[in-house]
């Protein structure tokens, strides 16, 4: 859970590729308000499965797919390498906010892995792209069930190896993919976690707030003031007392601080924040460590050493400890100079930090036959 990302998501209906190095969506210029918050996008009356194929790059094939899950229809694109298969397959599980298949990092990973003989599935979260539903009303359990519906579809295809389907969860997807893997331990061949956290979303929100302010040059006192505000907002959620008057009072007292624009978008409306807080109530206390302990497949967890959102010292050790309780094959990879998208930190690059892809390839090559 990256609160800045969720805040942007509820204040604008359209998003474009970020120009900063956060890796998160940002609102486009028309500033149209999201009208899907608080009500679901219309659900299809009946699911009509269909597949439309088209030629991909360098002989690969791209197929549009639709899969039914929890009364919704999930849209995605499956890219297959040349040849009849069956192919091992990676399902990319997206992060927070209104993530779609077209997020640049996921598209780049797909191109790379397809070139190395994997099929790759990217999909749109509920209420985004070609998917119906509403991600702002979706629990982590429901997100994991969506992933399992997609993997079940893949495992039933003749061109996909049923014993070679794995997950790659990024950011918030680093909570979702393990939840799916722990639910069906015999059905998934491997798990890759990119920039995932071993603490609850609420704890990660506080940690991210603190570390981002410190990295931006604010002192400890300023960081603690911001964290105290976040704690107060979290308390309202847990108490079921998310009321605009009280939230406005808290923000009014904090908005004069120099750190405030670093924590909340300057044009944020109180009603939008309250809507977000109600959504966070669905996910903020998810405990990942018991989930990680139930995973038995091979696991690779990758951390960027310069990630401003997921602190390496607070997450790598606990994640490894929990994973080793269930899996005999656990690898923790620390990428020097890499940010939250594993990009070279401090750049606008859509690529990956030196050594990141090579390390991912080496791990997959040692465990997955093509």
Which residues on adjacent β-strands are paired with residue 92?
Answer: 122, 168
Q: What is the pLDDT of residue 142?
A: 98
The token pair that represents 314 in the structure block = 């607070």
Other CB atoms within a 10 A radius of the CB of residue 366 amount to 10
Q: What is the pLDDT of residue 36?
A: 35
The 3-state DSSP class for residue 38 equals coil
Q: Strands 61-69, 51-55: parallel, antiparallel or unpaired by DSSP?
A: antiparallel
Bond prior to 86 in cis (omega within 30° of 0): yes
Q: What is the pLDDT of residue 23?
A: 40
Going by C-beta distance under 8 Å and a sequence separation of 6 or more, which residues neighbour residue 17? 104
List, for the chain, all residue ranges whose pLDDT scores fall below the cut of 70. Answer: 1-58
Fill in the DSSP letter of residue 83. Answer: S
Domain range list for the chain: 59-200+287-367, 207-285
Contact 204, 283 (CB under 8 A): no
Domain 59-200+287-367: state its class.
Answer: alpha beta
- Quick one: the chain helix, strand, coil %, rounded to 5? 40, 20, 40
pTM (predicted TM-score) = 0.86
The token pair that represents 190 in the structure block = 């491997």
- Residue 110 sits at φ, ψ, to 5 deg, of -60, -45
């Amino acid at each position: 859970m990256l609160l800045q990302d969720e805040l942007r998501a509820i204040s604008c209906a359209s998003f474009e590729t970020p120009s900063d190095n956060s890796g998160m969506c940002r609102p486009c210029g028309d500033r149209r308000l999201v009208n899907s918050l608080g009500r679901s996008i219309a659900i299809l009356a009946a699911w009509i499965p269909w597949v439309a194929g088209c030629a991909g790059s360098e002989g690969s094939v791209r197929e549009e797919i639709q899969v039914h899950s929890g009364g919704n229809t999930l849209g995605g694109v499956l890219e297959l390498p040349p040849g009849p298969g069956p192919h091992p397959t990676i399902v990319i599980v997206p992060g927070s906010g209104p993530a779609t298949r077209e997020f640049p990092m996921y598209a780049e990973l797909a191109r790379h892995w397809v070139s190395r003989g994997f099929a790759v599935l990217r999909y749109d979260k509920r209420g985004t792209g070609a998917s119906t539903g509403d991600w702002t009303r979706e629990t982590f359990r429901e997100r994991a069930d969506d992933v399992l519906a997609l993997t079940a579809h893949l495992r039933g295809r003749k061109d996909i190896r049923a014993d070679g389907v794995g997950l790659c969860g990024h950011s918030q997807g680093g909570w979702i993919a393990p939840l799916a893997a722990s639910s069906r331990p015999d059905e998934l061949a491997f798990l890759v976690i990119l920039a995932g956290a071993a603490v609850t979303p609420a704890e990660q929100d506080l940690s991210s707030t603190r570390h981002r302010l410190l990295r931006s040059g604010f002192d400890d006192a300023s960081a603690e003031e911001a964290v105290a505000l976040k704690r107060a907002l979290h308390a309202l959620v847990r108490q079921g007392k998310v009321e605009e008057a009280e939230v406005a009072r808290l923000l009014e007292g904090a908005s004069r601080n120099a750190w405030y624009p670093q924590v909340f978008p300057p044009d944020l409306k109180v009603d939008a924040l309250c809507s977000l807080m109600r959504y966070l109530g669905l996910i903020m206390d998810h405990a990942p460590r018991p989930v990680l302990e139930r995973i038995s497949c091979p696991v690779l967890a990758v951390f960027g050493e310069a990630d401003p959102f997921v602190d390496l010292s607070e997450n790598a050790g606990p994640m490894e400890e929990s994973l080793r309780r269930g899996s005999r094959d656990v690898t923790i990879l620390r990428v020097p100079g890499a940010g939250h998208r594993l990009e070279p930190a401090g750049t606008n690059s859509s690529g990956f930090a030196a050594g990141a892809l090579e390390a991912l390839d080496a791990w997959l090559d040692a465990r997955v036959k093509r």
